Amino acid sequence: MSVEKLQELRKRIDEIDDGILDLLNERAKIVIEVGDIKKKEKLDFHSPSRERQILERLASRNKGPFPPDTLRAVYREILSSSLSLERPLKVAYLGPRATFTHMAGMQQFGLAAQYVPVESIKDVFTEVERGRADYGVVPIENSTSGAVIYTLDMFIDSELKIAAEILLEVSQHLINKSGKLEDIKKIYTIPPAAAQCRQWLEKNLAGVPVLDAPSTARAAEMAADDITVGAIASEMAAVLYGLQIAGKKIEDSTTNITRFLVIAPKSPGKTGRDKTSIMFSIKDKVGALYTMLAPFAESNINLNRLDARPSGRKVWDYVFFLDMEGHIEDEKVATAIDRLRQDCMFLKVLGSYPRSE
């Protein structure tokens, strides 16, 4: 009886799968019609706000037992594949394949997007600025090793805006050809990844030099060519480059989160759960720090992050980067920024975008 019941249930699953397939194709036909209308009316090819509405509506309707995170991941791919029926989104990222930036891009845009690997963060900005990519994905900070300075510097001269942020839980692995620690005579990775694993390296591979690589995936490529080389990179990089894991999850912190920014020619509209990022240089005077922060405190605006970088233009001249809750279209946010602007040598709004949970 139990075997017959199992066969009956499997048959029912097959029928449901057939129905899902038919509905997906019906949906795809409607998406194509929508695309034709967007072309005719010269509307934006990609609408992040519409995608967000779809995901939030479905999440609110889901009563289970289908897991909510998995539902979002499934529909992320449906939306990505549907958009590719018009044309794939082009997304530039710090390559080669299997970097954490690549993984963050796939989390945001799905597998059907066309990912364009480039050699540097500067090249990511260039691809988007010249219209060769719709979006770019760049790292901005890590919960353990702090800000990615080069990304901050790129915003000084770029007119691109922040369109979204991505939070990616990062696990670092020590990988090489043999999977044996004793074979590793030198290690390649990027400086932030090395900083995230400092304690583990000192305990397990003290004296082994840790050298800079352009990316974690490039480090994996180097390890694939030399048995004496280890790389600190993702598990995805190990699989892609045919390497073994010599040390699994070697990051020092159990909560190792990297934040990435999506850059684009413009920022999205208001969602009600937004963040605004600005950069500015303030006049050097007594009480400058108070002058800088007072407008936000008095407007009851929560500040999420503050970084300072030398401007490179003259000694002791700094550029500040500030993240706050709210959207530039919010009256209190706009008013606070205008008050700050009065005491600045320059101020640039980098973008308002949905806050990642």
Pick the CATH number of 2-84 from 1.20.59.10, 1.10.1370.30, 3.40.190.10, 1.20.1600.10: 1.20.59.10
pLDDT in tens, 51-79: 888 998 999 999 989 999 899 899 989 99
Among the listed residues 267, 247, 232, 122, the one whose alpha carbon sits nearest the alpha carbon of residue 181: 247
Fold classified for 270-354: Alpha-Beta Plaits (3.30.70)
Residue 258 bears catalytic tag? yes
- Residue of 144, 189, 258, 276 marked active site: 258
Gap between the Cα atoms of 164 and 267, Å rounded: 8
What pLDDT was estimated at residue 316?
52
pLDDT digits (tens), the chain, 357 positions: 688 889 999 999 999 999 999 999 999 999 999 989 988 888 888 888 888 889 989 999 999 899 998 998 999 899 999 888 888 899 999 888 888 899 999 999 998 999 999 988 999 999 999 999 999 999 998 777 677 788 888 998 899 999 999 999 888 999 999 999 999 999 999 888 998 899 999 999 999 999 999 888 899 999 999 999 999 999 989 998 999 999 999 998 878 888 999 999 999 888 889 999 999 988 777 777 788 888 999 999 999 988 887 766 665 567 889 999 999 999 999 999 999 898 888 899 999 999 987
Q: At residue 326, what are phi and psi to the nearest 5 degrees?
A: 115, 170
Q: Give the closest residue to 222 by CA, choosing from 182, 180, 184.
A: 184
pLDDT at residue 1, as a whole number? 61
Tell the residue number behind the tokens 């993240």, with chain if given: 323
Domain with CATH 1.20.59.10 in the chain: 2-84
The residue from 100, 109, 125, 260 that is catalytic is 260
Would you state the pLDDT for residue 229?
A: 96
Amino acid at 139: P
In this prediction, residue 60 carries a pLDDT of 92
- Segments of the chain assigned E as strands: 90-94, 114-118, 135-142, 146-147, 161-169, 173-176, 186-189, 210-212, 229-233, 244-247, 257-264, 274-282, 303-310, 318-325, 344-354
CA dist 195 and 106 (Å) reads 25
* Fold category of 90-170+257-262 in CATH: D-Maltodextrin-Binding Protein; domain 2 (3.40.190)
Between 331-341 and 288-298, two packed helices, what is the crossing angle to 10 degrees? 160
- Residue 54 is predicted with a pLDDT of 92
Which residues make up the CATH 3.40.190.10 domain(s) of the chain? Answer: 90-170+257-262, 173-247
Is there a contact between 137 and 92 (Cβ–Cβ < 8 Å)? yes
Give pLDDT, residue 245: 95
* Domain 173-247 = CATH 3.90.25.10: no
